[in-house]
Amino acid sequence: MDGGSGLNILYAETLDAMDVFWSKLYPMSSPFHGVIPGAQAYPLGQIDLSVTFGDRANFHMEVLTFEVVDFLGSYHAILGQPCYTKFMADPNYTYLQLKMLGSNGVITVGSTFSHAYTCDREHYELATGIINSVELPKLGNAAALAVL
């Protein structure tokens, strides 16, 4: 859940795990910012997928557009503001729940605090690694110039 994001993001690894053919992607040429710290990202393309929350007795299904990206992430997908709007969902970040109206009442989707902490920790380590891989060569070049 990322209510601050204007994108629904799906990782290429997840697309492969779902056995969805890459030929279903349609092109997107503009980059987006804020997903990879300090860099712009170019998606492989976009894909429309049917997303369902709930169970057989009480469900809500919509078609969402995802930006498919080919870099590492600690999640399978990131649901952003377009998802919340389409499902008319109400995220509660304190309780790690997403609530929406289903065919027979309210649907509640949630997680545990320990699972959220594990994902956040993985994401932090991944982001730190990416930033360090970009910044370390710059620091090395600056040090080399300082010695001269």
CB 43 within 8 A of CB 32: yes
Residue 148 lies in a domain: no
pLDDT per residue over 1-18, tens digit each? 555 567 888 888 999 999
Residue 146 lies in a domain: no
Mean pLDDT of the chain: 80
Residue 95: CATH number of its domain = 2.40.70
DSSP state for residue 133 in the 8-state scheme = H
What does the pLDDT read at residue 35?
63
Distance CA 144, CA 141 (A): 5
What does the pLDDT read at residue 78?
84
Per-residue HEC secondary structure of 2-36 comes to: CCCCCCCEEEHHHHHHCCCCHHHCECCCCCEEEEE
Domain span at residue 85 reads 9-140
Domain count within the chain? 1
Residue 82 lies in a domain: yes
Residue 1 lies in a domain: no
Q: Which of 39, 73, 66 lies closest to 50 in space, CA to CA?
A: 66
> pLDDT grade, residue 131 (50/70/90)?
low
What does the pLDDT read at residue 76?
81
Q: What is the mean pLDDT of residues 44-51?
A: 92
23-32, 34-43, 58-67: least confident range: 34-43
